[in-house]
């Protein structure tokens, strides 16, 4: 009769495996939330980016103004990130 390694472990060992896996999941979730915050992924105004000049008659003046300001800030953010990526590429090259 052959016994495997798992059969030789004492009772209750699986709880420690679950604790380790749970801790790894929590650490990964914290890392990705932190990454999202640093990369401007939690933006509630993202819904305004689907509109353009052709939608002006379908929106209230306040919503259209908000849409235009969000679009401008997103384009500035995009340019900032592209410049940062280009700078990092030139440093590593």
Summarised one tens digit per residue, pLDDT across range 25-59 is 999 999 999 999 888 788 788 788 888 888 888 88
Q: What is the pTM of this model?
A: 0.56
Residue with the bigger pLDDT between 84 and 1: it is 84
Q: Is the predicted pLDDT of residue 78 greater than 70, yes or no?
A: yes
Which 3-state string (H, E, C) describes the chain? CCCCHHHHCCCCCHHHHHHHHHHHHHHHHHHHHHHHHHCCCCCHHHHHHHCCHHHHHHCCHHHHHHHHHHHHHHHHHHHHHHHHHHHHHHHHC
């Amino acid at each position: 009769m052959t016994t495997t390694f798992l059969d030789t472990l004492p009772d209750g060992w699986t709880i420690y495996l679950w604790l380790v896996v749970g801790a790894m999941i929590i650490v990964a979730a914290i890392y990705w939330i932190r990454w999202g915050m640093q990369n401007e992924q939690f933006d509630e105004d993202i819904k305004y980016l689907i509109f353009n000049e052709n939608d002006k008659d379908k929106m209230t003046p306040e919503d259209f103004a908000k849409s235009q300001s969000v679009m401008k800030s997103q384009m500035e953010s995009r340019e900032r990130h592209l410049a940062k990526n280009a700078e990092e590429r030139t440093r590593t090259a």
